[in-house]
Amino acid sequence: MIRTRKNYGCALRVYDNGGKTFDRYTIIPPRWATEYRERSLLWTAIGSSEHPFHPQGFGQHVMAAPGPHLGKRIHWWDLPADVQRFARDTFPEFCPPLEQENTQ
């Protein structure tokens, strides 16, 4: 069986729980970035609402175990602009170049 990997627009693993919780989005570095891995299953990650920089929003560094319990994997371009900015500030090496965003 040949497995194909879906291209989500960036190396980050981006999850969306559909708004079930205030920290709707969880963003985790790729599997091969083991320097972000803590203990056995936990990774350094970020949790975010739609507006992580707003005083009533949520944007925080967290520890997370990747998987479907975080929600559905989504494409980079499906993230709100503020969440993309938060991810780029935290994990710039895994995000698409800014020039590429202007063409999407």
* Tally of CB atoms within 10 A around 19: 11
CA distance 70 to 36: 18
Amino acid at site 27: I
Q: Do the strands 13-16 and 42-48 form a parallel or antiparallel pair, or are they unpaired?
A: unpaired
Q: Can you give the pLDDT at residue 43?
A: 95
The predicted-structure confidence for 35-71, as pLDDT tens digits, reads as follows: 999 877 899 999 999 999 999 999 999 999 999 999 9
Q: Can you give the pLDDT at residue 92?
A: 94
Q: Parse the chain into domains and list their residue ranges.
A: 13-95
Q: Can you give the pLDDT at residue 2?
A: 52
| Confidence band, pLDDT 50/70/90 cuts, at residue 74 | very high
Q: Can you give the pLDDT at residue 7?
A: 65
Task: Count CA atoms closer than 13 A to 53's CA, side-chain side.
Answer: 9
The predicted-structure confidence for 3-35, as pLDDT tens digits, reads as follows: 445 667 789 999 999 999 999 999 999 999 989
